[in-house]
Structure 1
């Protein structure tokens, strides 16, 4: 261990907490060093640079999110699994806005293949098997769900729904009902 008990895990966790407070885009090695009251050079044995720090925060967020999603969908199927999975994404975005942004950080292919992102994809596909979607339709549905979950959470966290009626809770419930209906009645052929 280094000075002040610094470890890579502590540095990454501090970066994740900073992301939640100031936004993922504002996380730098220098800001994390300030948190610990150390010089930037003290962190370079734990992270290479700000890009490496952001990648590690993204991996941390993906793992944390995958663990929550796995717990939420265990033993559920169909709409119950869909709603539980969706609520994990929404709740995580509310609780950890910076980490939720980090979970969408572009990773190089090798890093992505070894990340918890693979678990997210497997869980999403497991939920979709309950809707009997063949490939390539499953891939289209995975993209749709990811877009809705991340998009809604991002807009809601940014205050996009705070000044209009009906409230965002009602909209969220209606959106999940609509997604369930769409998945049960997935179009057979693409619109020309």
Structure 2
């Protein structure tokens, strides 16, 4: 890539290629500069440092995940929306395991808008279960923990037993849906 073509978005694009091909631990300013065909100091015109680049990468990944979630629930409600959301989340993490692991889990001011949109999508998907306010937030946390936990364990190859992972994921969805149907009874 020519120096003139660099921009913050272009630097993030290159960083995502590094992450996709080599994993998040391989993301360095030197690696990005090498792929861009520039000296590392040239990147400082577009990103302050590696920490900022990691936040920008995470923001892009969160945006992609938010789009997946939005598309999954669009036109669906209740159990169907939740199944589509959980399947979409798993599929994204499976297609992009290194990107998914580059996602910064703690809230950041730079990604707050996208994070709020993602939470809003999940809250909307939970409305059919009669969950509102703090009950909806607790359910979102549980849902996120279930989706994230399965995705991380699957990407790490942690499920070594012979049973089919699709069946395990279907059972997880069933357990979450069943739990949400009775959440108001607790």
Give the TM-score taking structure 2 as reference length. 0.92
What whole-Å deviation, never above 9, does each CA across 1:118-159 have from its counterpart, x for those lacking one? 111000000111111233221111111111111100110111
Match of 2:133 among 132, 135, 143: 135
Match of 2:81 in 1: 81
CA distance in 2, matches of 1:107, 1:125: 17
Alpha-carbon RMSD: 1.8
Unmatched runs of 5 consecutive residues or more in structure 1? none
CA distance in 2, matches of 1:107, 1:12: 19
Match of 1:5 in 2: 5
C-alpha deviation, 1:10, in angstroms: 1.4
- In the TM superposition, 1:53-132 aligns within 5 A as 53-108=53-108, 110-114=109-113, 116-132=114-130
C-alpha deviation, 1:105, in angstroms: 4.1
C-alpha deviation, 1:4, in angstroms: 5.2
Match of 2:170 in 1: 173
Equivalenced residues, count: 186
Contact 2:131 2:184 in 1 (8 A): no
CA distance in 2, matches of 1:138, 1:106: 19
CA distance in 2, matches of 1:2, 1:20: 22
C-alpha deviation, 1:6, in angstroms: 1.5
Contact 2:126 2:136 in 1 (8 A): yes
